[in-house]
Structure 1
Amino acid sequence: MRIYLKISYDGSKFQGFQQQTSTKNTILNKLILALNALGIKDVPVGSGRTDKGVHASNQALHLDIPPFWSDLKKLKIMLNRHLNPHIHVKKIYHVKKDFHARFSPIKREYRYIFYHGEFSPFLSSYVHFYPSFDMERLNDILELFKGRHDFEYFKKNGSESKNFIREIYNIKALPHKNKTIVIIQADGFLRSQIRMIISAVLKVYEGKLTHKQIKDQLDLKSIHTETLSPANGLYLHRVFYPKDIYK
């Protein structure tokens, strides 16, 4: 019986999403331990990997569970007893057997949060502290990345994908109280792609790079920046699936 888990987590408490040989402190490893404690041996598959320090409001996973776990409400309660406080199962759905958390999405949305107030150690793991923006200028720079591009020069080495073409459907910055939230929706993302894009945008905003240099890097003519913005401001906000996945 295949299920779809929708979870949130505090990425600052873990060394990343995926299992690693160097540490057991990963989100997936914590999930596996919780599932095993409930007699579920299948290894969950996530919609994608998040780096160390990156958070998720709505990460998606699938796995197959034994028939004795037909009560999904009870399963959610029991999982959260093992996972809280840094991981939380929000929803569990029955889905069709061919549903795949990684390959079934039609688009994904990440959000990057800048905070313009006074520094606080209580917020430092969850936002990127930065002076206020001229929103028109910021959105003008973000617009450079919209559309279908080969993002080979905007990814971190080690990406599993051999195809670097991605389409960014929407990328914009919105003010919210003393924050700026950058929303990015695309058909998919490469390893650390968003953090590299945000870093490049800030360099253009600060006058360290030009619009033309960004265009040249998108056109694979030259590399002008490979730095990453801090992970703490980044959130996997939503994974979009077709409506017919549910059983």
Structure 2
Amino acid sequence: MPRSDWRRPPLQQLDPSIRRIRMTVSYHGAHYSGWQRQYNALTVVQVLEETVKAMIGEEVEIVGSGRTDSGVHALGQVCHMDIRNQKVKAEKFALALNRLLPPDIRILESSETGNTFHARYTAMARMYRYYFKREQDMTAFDQSLVAKVKRFPALELLNGYASCIQGTHDFTTFTASGDVSSSRWRDIYESYWRMETDRWGKQLLTYTICGNAFLYKMVRSLVGSMMDFAEIGMPVQEFSSILASKDRHKVGRTAQACGLYLYKISYDENEYAWFEEKHDE
């Protein structure tokens, strides 16, 4: 779909006394009930906001590029906060906050930005990666960080399904109940499976997907379904038909949260411009 149809609200001007600080965050999601604040559970953003308050004595609202569910990890979540504090240099927030945060949340970088940047509304692409290991290759360090399977399905068949996902589609079929999005059409720029090797020399089956945005549990539903369908040898054309059916009853399982990582957020308007140009042809 053209970017003009993304329905993003206009950015608000910042008060001259306000600074906007951008941060890139990694976290071990198994220890938290997701990114977004909740009334009855500990979340990543709650810990971040409380730590910033302890550091500068100021209540802040931290806005992320998007939400991650309970148990989902992040290597490159991007967020911002608007503060009145004028003393702390922007690049020092990463170092100072990491001294106060628990070790399962790390600020990778921090910088000053302006009202032309918004962690959510100026994001151009979001990339997720999912990791599987065979049961026989699991180490003591993989618990809650990698999903476990008995065997790997055929890579060629998995990539056949993955190719169907690229492009612009209505992803109702792979959207969990509870999604409140007004539209379930999404642009998917990249979708592929690869065999990789972890730092212990063990095989990792990885899935990478990158798009303009994602629906509730969409990635985990896609991953679990592709793995189930490849196990029984479902033809690629049948997978394509299931995607087009918009029938939630036709999907496979939803993959575990532990294997999913929010890998990267792109704010580069040119990185996937080819997709927009292709759409306009």
SS of structure 2 residue aligned to 1:138: helix
RMSD, matched Cα: 1.9
Q: CA deviation at 1:112?
A: 0.4
2:240 equivalent to 1:215: yes
1:35 alignment partner in structure 2: 52
Are 2:62 and 1:44 aligned?
Answer: yes
| 1:37-67 deviation line (CA, Å, top 9, x unaligned) | 1223221000111011100000000111224
Q: How is 1:39-188 mapped onto 2 (pairs within 5 angstroms)?
A: 39-116=57-134, 117-130=136-149, 131-177=151-197, 178-188=203-213
In structure 2, relative to structure 1, the CA distance for the partners of 1:50 and 1:123 (3 Å cut) is same
Q: Where does residue 15 of structure 2 map in the other structure?
A: none
Q: What is the letter of the counterpart of residue 56 of structure 1?
A: A
Contact 1:112/1:183, CA 8 A, preserved across alignment = yes
Unmatched tracts of structure 1, length 5 or more:
none
2:12 equivalent in structure 1:
none
- Using structure 1 for the length normalisation, give the TM-score: 0.91
Q: Which residue type is aligned with residue 162 of structure 1?
A: S
Q: Does 1:229 align with 2:255?
A: yes
- Inter-partner Cα distance in structure 1 for 2:238 and 2:66: 30
Of the structure 1 ranges 61-70 and 106-115, higher mean CA displacement relative to structure 2 is found in 61-70
Task: Give the 3 Å change call, closer, same or farther, for CA 173–22 of structure 1 in structure 2.
Answer: same
* Counterpart AA for 2:215: L
Instruction: Provide the rounded CA distance (Å) in 2 between the counterparts of 1:146 and 1:243.
Output: 19
**Which residue number in structure 2 is paired with residue 199 of structure 1?**
224
Identity %: 30
Aligned partners of 2:204 and 2:259: how far apart in 1?
11
Aligned residue pairs, count: 243
Q: Answer yes or no: is the 8 Å Cα contact 1:214–1:224 preserved in 2.
A: no
Q: TM-score normalised to the size of structure 2?
A: 0.81
Letter in 1 for 2:261: Y
- Give 1:221 deviation, angstroms: 5.1
In structure 2, do the counterparts of structure 1 residues 133 and 206 end up closer, same or farther at CA, with 3 Å as the change threshold? closer
Paired letter, 1:22: N
Q: Residue by residue, what CA displacement relative to the aligned partner does 1:88-142 show, whole Å, maximum 9, x if unpaired?
A: 0001111121311111111110000111343334312011122234322221121
How far the C-alpha of 1:210 sits from its partner, in A, is: 4.8
SS in 2 for 1:99: coil
